[in-house]
A = this chain, B = another copy of it.
């Protein structure tokens, strides 16, 4: 008997027919002799609808109230799924983040999980119940309701799998695995059988939109084996786990594109210690995630500092930049939200020099200008003009032999 955590995204529980479908799949897993914990997101576009409702009332709603509002979506999903499972004759119980004991810090809208209690989960599992957990949400020590940020249900699933030492954490989504590129953009993309945490982490961070990066990180840290599968078919998915050296055959295993990027550059910053620290501390205090950072010495004693943020953080980032400009002695700043990030990822890169150069070459041949570059051991990312993203992805996919 295995303990399986299954996570279903919003499209999987959008409407009664889909909820019934998920219920059948869950019950099949249970009746095959497994203990099952299910983590569910809010139905379909509900989160977006709620955000729109909020903005009609207040263009800048307090994050605490936003979390209060948004957590209702997952609460609906868990209750409805529990009812559908009962109808199929299995015992099920739904639990909110608070009821499970998913303790987070109080960074509303972007809370971090501090601890997951397994007491209640174990108690219900021991009674033979299928346990349904609301994704995306947690509770602080002060009894305040928090959310983990968009896609946070993946993190919930992995955290629950980790604390219960589950055999596998299956992430059901609308694609049936991890591909060498987004199949909607690059039609020749192929599904990967297995991918390492590190590669998945880079792909997730880079906007492959299959898994939340934090969830992958959490899985890696806690040795949780992930499986990305489709809830609409029974195809084998992609396993995300520790991959041995022997398996690292492909130099580049995937290409990713991300349009949720905005670029800010602070100009003519004096080249003295403490400048970058002041800037990025101020951004962190506003809970703005900075992705790429490039510092370039343009002239003697002065630097430009450019960085990228999520587009929906751009407004706040501009406010911070405006405020910090005099403090760090910058002459001004520019921003651009018409950029995109294209990346190549592969665990094999570490032992293959020249992969980055090959990427730049490929983009140059397509006439695509590179605005920023960032590299890690297993990925290379470039900021380019948004309008070239599809072309860049397709040509890189071909260039690195992923067809």
The reply on A68 being an interface residue by CB < 8 A is yes
CB distance from A344 to the nearest CB of B (A): 42
Interface residues of A in 75-90 (CB under 8 A from B): 75-76, 78-80, 82-84, 86-87
CB distance from A55 to the nearest CB of B (A): 9
What is the chain B residue whose CB lies nearest that of A59? B87
B residues within 8 A CB of A80? 53-54, 57, 69
Q: Is the CB of A57 within 8 A of B84?
A: yes
Q: 1/0 per residue A87-122: CB within 8 Å of B?
A: 100000110101100000000000000000000000
The reply on A181 being an interface residue by CB < 8 A is no
The reply on A383 being an interface residue by CB < 8 A is no
Q: Is the CB of B71 within 8 A of A83?
A: no
Q: 1/0 per residue A351-383: CB within 8 Å of B?
A: 000000000000000000000000000000000
The reply on A196 being an interface residue by CB < 8 A is no
CB distance from A290 to the nearest CB of B (A): 28
Q: 1/0 per residue A25-65: CB within 8 Å of B?
A: 00000000000000000000000001001101111011011
Q: Is the CB of A82 within 8 A of B68?
A: yes
Would you call the interface of chain A mostly helix, strand, loop, or mixed? helix
The reply on A205 being an interface residue by CB < 8 A is no
CB distance from A22 to the nearest CB of B (A): 11
A69 CA to B86 CA in the complex, in Å? 15
B residues within 8 A CB of A23? 57
Known: A53-B80, A76-B50. A86 touches B66 (CB 8 A): no
The reply on A20 being an interface residue by CB < 8 A is yes
What is the chain B residue whose CB lies nearest that of A67? B79
Instruction: State which size class the interface on A falls in.
Output: 35 or more
Q: Is the CB of A58 within 8 A of B72?
A: no
The reply on A16 being an interface residue by CB < 8 A is yes
Interface residues of A in 280-301 (CB under 8 A from B): none
B residues within 8 A CB of A84? 57-58
CB distance from A192 to the nearest CB of B (A): 36
The reply on A261 being an interface residue by CB < 8 A is no
The reply on A145 being an interface residue by CB < 8 A is yes
A73 CA to B50 CA in the complex, in Å? 12
B residues within 8 A CB of A187? none
A16 CA to B20 CA in the complex, in Å? 32
> A residues bordering B, Cβ < 8 Å?
16, 19-20, 23, 50, 53-54, 56-59, 61-62, 64-66, 68-69, 71-73, 75-76, 78-80, 82-84, 86-87, 93-94, 96, 98-99, 143-145
Interchain Cβ contacts under 8 Å between A and B, 9 examples? A16-B53, A57-B80, A58-B84, A65-B83, A68-B96, A69-B75, A69-B76, A72-B72, A96-B145
